[in-house]
A and B are shown apart, each in its own frame.
Chain A
């Protein structure tokens, strides 16, 4: 797609009919979690949309976010959206390397100053900036420079959004998130380890369509995808309401598909769209596959205790200790209740630390 072309002109030049374009718009509106009634508005906006420049920086990351995106289940729509943006720098995907790649990044930043979208995956080490460098430039310096000239920044993945696994205790590199460094620019956090690919594309599609950033939640995440917690959208929720829980991964409750809350599911405290958008071409999501949500789209998810302890145990110390305290309480009266409260306080203090 040429830079002077609108998306509508580009699609027409590729032989895409108006009917095909409307189908593309329907799928894109669905991607953006817009109501189906918004398709006409999306079509009007996309037909005249021009190709934005995108610079993608990868810092302390595992490439899982890029893997997630490139294995997205909707290649037709995804590839059209990717044709519709100018991905000027992505050191994992681009053919150029070394000085050529860095020259492309610098040229894109100059040509599109104040207009490009900066996508970042991975956290940034500030304990010692030399822990992670690209072409001899520290992640910190590259981020500060690229962010200063960007229109907006999309922090893709929990590492970029909240520090993620590199930030986990004991955080040997002094890893921080994009928003710990960049101020004065809109930052969209697309968290998840990795994020749902259509959520990444949905955010890019929103920018492409409307030229604005989407409505965000308190954690800076697009409200359309992170506005509700997994628990509220989970198909196993009725079992929770009825108190029907799997106690182990192979008991009768597990086989009957009952709620995984007691096996550590973090659905009630995790905001993401896994329960509706699902993964692998809409095939399933962790809870549907029999494993509780680990809360990977939330800050500090790696440091919130075992993935297999119920949320209630995380708040009150270990479940066994609480049950023990309750049993002792029956025999010893108020003394053990005080001890349990002390354990709760200690657990909360550890959580806050």
Chain B
């Protein structure tokens, strides 16, 4: 990488899309605070110059909650410094990013235990208990 770093290429390119995106987040946050539904923004759909995604991350910062979900590869759910604004990064089993979203919501849906998984968990627990009863 050191050889590549020596090539004098400027990365100070901007699409002008970062500020509008931040305003979109601000508007979504106001709607959420007013009792309206949350908003999801797909970061892969926006034309962004090299470094702009990192700039968005830097502006949003990191908040109090950081959770990792292990389902079909890791997913990082990070609350930003602005409560109600979450950055969600889905990775596959090989750790490549497959999708990135900004969710403006009280709690990302994916963090909640899902009804189908709860029901399957009940069956599993009942089966465990039945097995241990048999053994005793």
Contact = CB atoms under 8 A, between A and B. Distances in A.
Interface of A: 16-20, 22-24, 26-27, 30, 33, 35-37, 39, 73-77, 80, 233-239, 255-257, 275-277, 281-282, 288
A24 B99 CA distance: 10
Interface string B68-101: 0101110100000000000000101110111101
B73 A234 contact: no
A77 B40 contact: no
A18 B101 contact: no
Interface residues of B, number: 41
Contact of B97 (A17, A35, A281): A281
A98 to B, nearest CB: 34
A44 to B, nearest CB: 13
Nearest to B116: A18
B11 A257 contact: yes
Given A17-B117, A23-B90, A257-B49, 13 more contacts: A16-B72, A17-B116, A18-B117, A19-B117, A20-B71, A20-B72, A26-B99, A26-B110, A35-B40, A75-B93, A234-B47, A235-B14, A235-B47
Given A238-B15, A255-B9, A276 B46 contact: yes
A257 B92 contact: no
B115 A18 contact: yes
Nearest to A241: B16
B41 interface: yes
A123 B15 CA distance: 38
Nearest to B51: A235
Interface in B34-87: 40-42, 44-50, 52, 69, 71-73, 75
A114 B57 CA distance: 49
Contacts of B110: 19, 22-23, 26
User: Interface on chain A toward B: helix, strand, loop, or mixed SS?
Assistant: helix
B2 interface: no
B10 interface: yes
B91 to A, nearest CB: 9
B132 interface: no
A26 B43 CA distance: 12
A36 B13 contact: no
B44 A277 contact: yes
Contacts of A30: 42, 44-45, 98-99, 101
B50 to A, nearest CB: 6
Contacts of A236: 13, 49
B131 interface: no
A33 B45 CA distance: 8
B8 interface: yes
Contacts of B8: 255
A76 B74 CA distance: 11
A83 to B, nearest CB: 12
Given A16-B71, A75-B93, A36 B44 contact: no
A257 B9 contact: yes
B77 to A, nearest CB: 11
A119 B76 CA distance: 36
